[in-house]
Amino acid sequence: MLAAIGETPIVPYEDPAIDGSIHVKCEFDNPTGSMKDRIAYGMITELESEGVLSPGELIVEASSGNTAGAVALVANRLGYEAVITAPDGTSPQKLGYVEAFGAELVSCPDVDADDERHYRATAERIADERGGVLLDQYSNQANPAVHAAWTGPELTDQCPEVTHVVAPMGTGGTMSGIAKHVKAYDDSVTTVGVDAVQSNISTAFSGAESGPYETAVEGLGQDEKLPTMWFDYVDEVRSVSDEAAFAHARRGAREGGLLVGPSSGAALSVAREIASVDSDAVVVTIACDGGEQYFDTVFDDEWLAERGVDVD
């Protein structure tokens, strides 16, 4: 199963209303359905090569979604015990991987980051108490580095004519790593990160004041600038509303047969903005996960109506 990580396809997204071209890198094609398989593999093998981790030991990780299953899979295959902490409300389709692969799931209340019951604080405590190693995708430099060394080169091999790269940002690892690679490949390529409205990635990027925010788009946005955000390689960060993220995920499925999650819908909306004003643009957008984890949310009319979201 580790050999099935990476080498994800890039497919053209055909939209007759758009002059430029859009290509989608299908990271949902990884074994647990997201690009996080790459960073789970990258973070664990890097710690092994540094002599910090050896098989049989305990790995601890905090995740609000896709990293949970990814770490559980890689721990299973490389011979580690794993404990995953996740906030209440994380989609059960994502957390289902954890126990299926034999890891331990610790659910935490969805409280503020400075509360000791928070899922990240809980992961730190468990690692301390049980002598485990905390991967910490929120600071671990192997998170962006694995995308620079692996995802980025795949992308430029598959689409050498790329002019723009668009990716959703949470830890920023995916965008930062790919951006580092594409800037070295051709520094005229424009790199555009995607954030949730009022989240603090775009404010940190532009140096503006930040504050609390809320989004129903899983994986998108962050409370603060993280060490995994390598802004030096990112040209721009655009904010997308939840409504637009949902609408573009649904439109991608209906009009393009492309079933992706809402963070990828947000990226698709930015790719469309770019390709509609620039007929020479060759935009590659990253589809972080697939839509099948969101049939009972983003693709459910009642769920949207309950949130007052009016999409087709």
Positions that interact with ligand PMP (CB under 6 A): 34, 65-66, 168-175, 218-220, 261, 263, 288-289
For the bound state, the minimum distance from the C-beta of residue 221 to ligand PMP, rounded and expressed in Å, comes to 9
Rg (Cα) of the chain, in Å, rounded? Answer: 18
Distance, CA of 213 to CA of 223 (rounded, Å): 8
User: Counting beta carbons within 10 angstroms of the beta carbon of residue 106, is it exposed (0 to 12), middle (13 to 18) or buried (19 or more)?
Assistant: middle
All residues at 6 or more sequence positions from 118 whose CB lies less than 8 Å from its CB, including other chains: 87, 108, 111, 112
Q: Which two tokens stand for residue 74?
A: 């890689």
List the beta bridge partners of residue 166: 192, 285
CA distance 254 to 228: 34
Least distance to ligand PMP from the beta carbon of 61, Å?
Answer: 12
C-beta closer to ligand PMP: residue 20 or 65: 65
Distance, CA of 179 to CA of 173 (rounded, Å)? 10
Which lies closer to ligand PMP via its Cβ, residue 82 or residue 298?
A: 298
The residue among 132 and 290 lying less far from ligand PMP, judged by its C-beta, is 290
177, 151 Cβ separation under 8 angstroms: yes
The closest residue (CB) to ligand PMP is: 219
Q: What's the sign of the alpha-carbon dihedral 77, 78, 81, 82?
A: negative
Q: Which of 305, 260, 296 is nearest to 35 (CA)?
A: 260
Quick one: 20 or 177, whose CB is closer to ligand PMP? 177
Closest approach, Cβ 16 to ligand PMP, in A, equals 27
Q: Print burial letters for 287-303: b (CB count within 10 Å at least 16), e (below 16).
A: bbbbbebbeebbbeeeb
Q: Positive or negative, the Cα torsion across 61, 67, 68, 73?
A: negative
Q: Which two tokens stand for residue 53?
A: 């981790």
CB of 192 to ligand PMP, least distance (A): 13
Q: Please tell me the distance from the alpha carbon of residue 192 to that of residue 10, in angstroms, as a whole number.
A: 18
The least distance separating ligand PMP from the CB of residue 250, rounded to whole angstroms, comes to 16
The least distance separating ligand PMP from the CB of residue 17, rounded to whole angstroms, comes to: 25
- Smallest separation (angstroms) from ligand PMP to the CB of 279: 28
Judged by beta carbon, residue 15 or residue 289, the one nearer ligand PMP is 289
| Least distance between ligand PMP and beta carbon 6 (Å) | 15
Of 58 and 283, the one with the shorter C-beta distance to ligand PMP is 283
Q: Which residues pair with 291 in a beta bridge?
A: none
- Nearer of residues 32 and 58 to ligand PMP, judged by Cβ: 32
Nearer to ligand PMP, 46 or 218 (CB): 218
